[in-house]
Chains A and B, each alone.
Chain A
Amino acid sequence: MSGDDHYPVLMATLRSADPGPPEPDRTPAPWEANVHATCACLSWRGTLDNLERRHAEDTLGQTTYADFPLHARAAVVTAHSLLERGAISERELETRMNQVRARFRQA
């Protein structure tokens, strides 16, 4: 899967997005800092180069993920790139997201 193809597991996260125009005044959530650190680690350890990811964000952000808010694109595109490279599978990601969701709801 590549190019404009999309991954259903990622497209499903769009339900978290607030409808309406962008919010330039929003305060970043803590998980956004985690995404940046994850991207830094993936690049540092050689799995996903930062520059490649930034280019992917530009490209996919105008196409496949155009409806996603800007602040979510790094996470979505990082996941997309890892899926595309076979570093993780859709089944693995979906299963883990279900587990994470269940853990969060226990709190």
Chain B
Amino acid sequence: MTHEHDHHAPIEAADEISEFEVLETAIRELAIEKGLFSPDDHRRFMEWAERIGPHGGSRLVARAWLDPDFKQRLLADGTETSKEVGIDWLDPTGTGTPSDFTYFYVLENTPAVHNVIVCTLCSCYPRPVLGQAPEWYKTPHYRRRVVRWPREVLAEFGLHLAPEVEVRVHDSNQKSRFMVMPMRPEGTEGWTEDRLAAIVTRDTMIGVALPRADWTADRSPAMT
């Protein structure tokens, strides 16, 4: 990726001001003036929203790999069981956000079934557990094609599934968000939850990659 500063989009001209932006600013300023919340409250939420990552999802998967009872609870009720790792989808002061209030489903990969998530309509994504969606997740190329040709799209990510593996594509929406629980890879026997969580990367929980014992997203591929 390059950053070509010579090709900035033009800054919005004054006559192109969005009335919705004007409305947003007015609401926020009035709410602050009336003491409904503080500027600091707002800033903290903005900063939080921009920094959340996939660590919550990684923790859910790692714990499920180690604890069969937790795994069953997670698969049965993702929204409620997420609270056990400190993620409350319904609590805006925790890790949920207003746009994320919805039902949360964890999809278990098995030797016979591989799951992958998408939002064909826009960019719905399980942010409380995975953070901000990667840019490619929002592209029409991914959204439109993965529901039609999932094997081909997964192959473009380097994930080649055997013909006998069923691929299930789950379309996120305003009411339902999904996360993939990948299978625990070989070579991880005896590992701690922390060590396991490190190999459960974002893409493995979207379903476009599989976790590997020799790979974490915390270090450069060139260093492995």
Report A's interface with B, CB cutoff 8 A. 10, 12-16, 24-25, 29, 31-45, 47, 50-51, 53-54, 70-72, 74-76, 78-79, 82, 87-88, 92-93, 96-97, 99-101, 104-107
Q: Which 6 A-B pairs have the closest CB atoms?
A: A41-B37, A16-B19, A13-B19, A37-B45, A39-B98, A96-B26
Task: Check if A75 sits within 8 Å of B27, measured CB to CB.
Answer: yes
Task: Report B-chain residues with C-beta under 8 Å of the C-beta of A15.
Answer: 19
Task: Check if B21 sits within 8 Å of A36, measured CB to CB.
Answer: no
Residue B183 is within 8 A (CB to CB) of chain A in the complex:
no
Please pick, from A45, A79, A100, A105, the residue contacting B36 in the complex, using a CB distance under 8 A: A45
Report B's interface with A, CB cutoff 8 A. 14-15, 17-31, 34, 36-37, 41-42, 45-46, 49, 90, 92-93, 96-99, 101, 121-122, 140, 143
Task: Report B-chain residues with C-beta under 8 Å of the C-beta of A74.
Answer: 98-99
Interface of B is mostly: helix
CB distance from B101 to the nearest CB of A (A): 5
CB distance from B31 to the nearest CB of A (A): 7
Please pick, from B20, B90, B99, the residue contacting A16 in the complex, using a CB distance under 8 A: B20
Seed contacts A34-B28, A38-B27, A79-B23; 5 additional CB < 8 Å A-B pairs: A36-B49, A37-B42, A45-B41, A97-B22, A100-B22
Please pick, from B14, B27, B29, B98, the residue contacting A40 in the complex, using a CB distance under 8 A: B98
Task: Report A-chain residues with C-beta under 8 Å of the C-beta of B96.
Answer: 50
* Complex: chain B residue closest to A79, CB-CB: B27
Please pick, from A14, A44, A72, the residue contacting B41 in the complex, using a CB distance under 8 A: A44
Task: Check if B22 sits within 8 Å of A25, measured CB to CB.
Answer: no
Please pick, from A14, A31, A37, A45, the residue contacting B21 in the complex, using a CB distance under 8 A: A31
CA of A35 to CA of B49 in the docked complex: distance in angstroms?
12
Q: Interface centre among B29, B31, B121, B143, by most A CB within 10 Å? A: B31
Please pick, from A24, A51, A106, the residue contacting B121 in the complex, using a CB distance under 8 A: A24
Task: Check if A104 sits within 8 Å of B14, measured CB to CB.
Answer: yes
Task: Check if B27 sits within 8 Å of A78, measured CB to CB.
Answer: yes
Please pick, from A38, A71, A72, A75, the residue contacting B31 in the complex, using a CB distance under 8 A: A38
* Complex: chain A residue closest to B41, CB-CB: A41
